Structure formats: C-alpha cells, structure tokens
Structure 1
C-alpha cells in the first residue's frame, strides 16, 4: 500500500512532529528543567526524537519524496498546537510530553495499521517511547504526592492539551484528506470498528492520566 498518497502524508506529519518534539524538548530542558539531571535526561530524549526524524526523512527520500514538501502541509497546525499549549512550568511540560503527545501518536499508530509492513514497522519504531513515559510519570507523580493541590491544575491542563490536539487534527484531516483516509481504511469504514477505535484511544488516555496520578 506504499503507493497511497496518504503514506507520504503520514511520514511527513510524523517527521515534522518528531522534529518539533526534538526542538521543544531541547527548549524545555534548557529553560524549565529544575536540575541538571532533569536537563540531561530531557536532552537525551530530545536526541532520540531527532534520530526518529532522520529515519523518517530518509524513508521519504527513498520513496522519491521531498521531505520539506512532505512536512510543509503540517507545519502550521503543529506549530499552532505548540503555541497554544506552551507549558508554564516544568510539570506542565512533562504532562504535555506524555499526555498531549501520546494522544496524537495513538492516532498515527492507528493510521499505519494496514500499511505495507515495512512502513508500519517504521512508524512503530519512530513512535517508540524511548523512556519519556517513565520519566514523566516518575516526576509528576512525585510532585502530586508531595502537593495534592497540583492535581486539579494538571488535570485541567491535560484536558486542554487533548482538546487542542483533536482540534488541530481536524484541521489536518480537512487539508489532507489522503491522511484522513488512512484512518478510515484502518477501521474498514465500519461504524462498530470506529467506535472501538475511539474506545481504545479513550482507554489509553485514561491509563496515562491514572499513571500520572491526576
């Protein structure tokens, strides 16, 4: 199924997402991390995101696609999401890296389910967690346990992240229908499967919130 135009769109949006994640994590490490250890760990995660970007860029080139052109349709939506969800402090940055990014990556995984195995395997590889979850969960849970009043604020922040992610996702789907079609094909255009898809996404989001203790 690599001939589908949606494949280049999927790799393009993922490539820009990974490049953006690298830049945001590096910025958060430099300006929000409270300790040198936190700065180092977040910097290491940023390096992993850049490596994922390189894999996607190279695959786009191997498919005969221009990486810049493949990424460009998604720049405005992703940049706007980051702008609207700029964390105000270290804990908000960690919740964004875990919850906000997680819901978006869940959609990309679903879109890749019925692709050529080589493409699907690449998507799985670049969506590997690389320790982000464990790092965020450990830091946020410790902070919430030390100060339970943080729970409400961080829960509201997480809901805002997801709402903005879904809003920008709708914009992307409207502009790039080929990418949206991959998700439709992944659920076989079946209403029951679509319901199961959203149930899976909701369940995964609930697990993340529970893991954070918020």
Structure 2
C-alpha cells in the first residue's frame, strides 16, 4: 500500500518550489504518454493478426488521449507544455532506445511491465501531492490498460513455445533495470522532483526507510505482473 502523506500538502499555486516540482511531474508523465503512443503504434506493425493490430491501436489511442488534460494543467500554471517536457525527452528516449522490442511478444511485455512500473512510481509520488494534482496524476495512470489482452497473448505464446518464457523473463528483468536507471537519472537531474520526495519542514516526504519501502513495493508489483504473464521475475 502506498504510504499516505499529510493532508496539508501545499498547493501548486502557493509554494514556488512545490509548483516547480508539480510542473516537472506533469511534464514527464505527459511526455511518457506521448512516447507510449508512438511505441504502441510502432509495435502494432509487428502484430500477427488484424485483430491484434487493432487492439494495440486502441491501447495507443488511450495513451494519447491522456495528454491534453495534463497539458491543460500545465497551461493553467502559465507554462508551455512543450518547453516543460523538453528536459525529459533525452532520458525517456534513451530508455526506449535501450529497450526496443525485437518482436511482438517483447513489445507486449514492455507495454505491460514497463508501463506498469512507471505507473506505480507515479502513484507513489502522488501520495505526496495536493488533492487536485493527485487526482489528475492517478487518473492518468488508470485510464484503460487492456491488461487482459496482453496477459492472454503472452500466456498463449508461452504455451506454444516454452522457450519463449525464458527469453521473455530475461527481457522483463532488463526492463526493470533500465527503468530504475532512468528514474534515478531524472531524479538526480531535476532538483525539484528530488525535493518533492524528500519533503521539507512544512510538508511530508520520504526518509531513507520510507524510500526503501517504496522500492520494495515497486519490485513486488513488478514480480506480480511477471507472474501474471506466466514469467519468472
């Protein structure tokens, strides 16, 4: 369970440092959704059937539909969404460059495991946000995942070829490692996001013990997803 924060979290309008952190958070989520759309649209080309191609196209459309609401909130802060997203293009693009799927099944696992890990991380951060921003972030994480479609296809593939399971298990571990590396890079480069997690005298944050528990929860959820796919974590 995500550890709850104090209900007296500042509003983005009242605290300039907190506002900067919220802008960064909304921007990185928005750019992540754009790249998710691009990736799923590209992966659809690998689909073995027209039905599978349509399912991935529908997943892609859900990702891109989330972006406008995030951009609206950024504009409400007087921020250009595209300028706000710019600092996150390199690390996110690098992650996708390092984890380009070699085939249909790797693309499915990446969509399910990789996106799930990112969503879990943002939900954890959302616990330390004001109510309005938290609602927006959580809503962006929860709009339709088509998880049943992915689980069904991967499990069917493993049933047909048991060697596939071993390869995809290694792929899932690689995705986890790459995602954590890029998350650490973003946090290190963006002082505002690091400060948001650390908290301050007037707002809650994560001490080392709480940070450790958070990463334990992220790892446990990753293992649960791998199990759902029929893979060893």
| TM-score of the aligned structures, taking structure 1 as reference length | 0.94
| Superposition deviation, residue 71 in structure 1 | 0.4
SS at match of 1:127: helix
User: Could you tell me how far apart the structure 1 residues matched to 2:88 and 2:222 are?
Assistant: 23
Q: CA deviation at 1:53?
A: 1.0
SS of residue in 2 equivalent to 1:57: helix
> 2:62–2:143: 8 Å Cα contact kept in structure 1?
no
Matched, 1:8 2:57: no
Count the aligned residue pairs: 213
Of the three residues 69, 80, 91, the one matched with 1:77 is 91
1:150 has 2:167 as partner? no
Judging by fraction of residues, say which structure has more helix. 1
**Residue of structure 1 in register with 2:179 after alignment:** 165
Q: Which runs of 5+ in 1 are unaligned?
A: none
Q: Does 1:127 align with 2:127?
A: no
TM-fit CA distance, 1:187? 7.2
* Distance across 2 between alignment mates of 1:131 and 1:196: 26
**In structure 2, distance between residues paired with 1:184 and 1:159:** 28
Aligned pairs for 1:167-206 (under 5 A) are 167-185=181-199, 188-206=205-223
Which of these residues, 50, 58, 79, is aligned with residue 65 of structure 1? 79
Deviates more, 1:122-131 or 1:87-96: 122-131
Taking the aligned partners of 1:14 and 1:195, their CA distance within structure 2 comes to: 23
Q: Which moved more, 1:189-198 or 1:179-188?
A: 179-188
Q: Which runs of 5+ in 2 are unaligned?
A: 1-9
Match among 114, 131, 137 for residue 128 of structure 2: 114
Partner residue of 1:94 out of 108, 113, 120: 108
Name which one, 1 or 2, has greater alpha-carbon Rg: 2
Is the CA contact 1:74–1:172 (under 8 Å) kept in the aligned structure 2?
yes
Cα RMSD for the two superposed structures: 1.5
Q: Say if 1:166 and 1:104 are closer, same or farther in 2 by CA, change over 3 A.
A: same
| C-alpha contact 2:128 2:205 (8 A) present in aligned 1 | no
Find the aligned partners of 1:138 and 1:63 in 2 and give their Cα distance: 42
Tell me by how many angstroms 1:129 deviates: 5.1
The structural deviation recorded for 1:24 is 0.8
Q: Deviations over 1:161-195 (max 9, x none)?
A: 11111111121111112112223339733333222
User: What is the aligned partner in structure 1 of residue 34 from structure 2?
Assistant: 19
Q: Is the 8 A contact 2:196 2:205 kept in 1?
A: no
Per the alignment, residue 6 of structure 2 pairs with: none
- After superposition, give the CA deviation of every residue in 1:137-167 in whole Å (9 maximum; x if it has no partner): 1110111122211111001111111111111
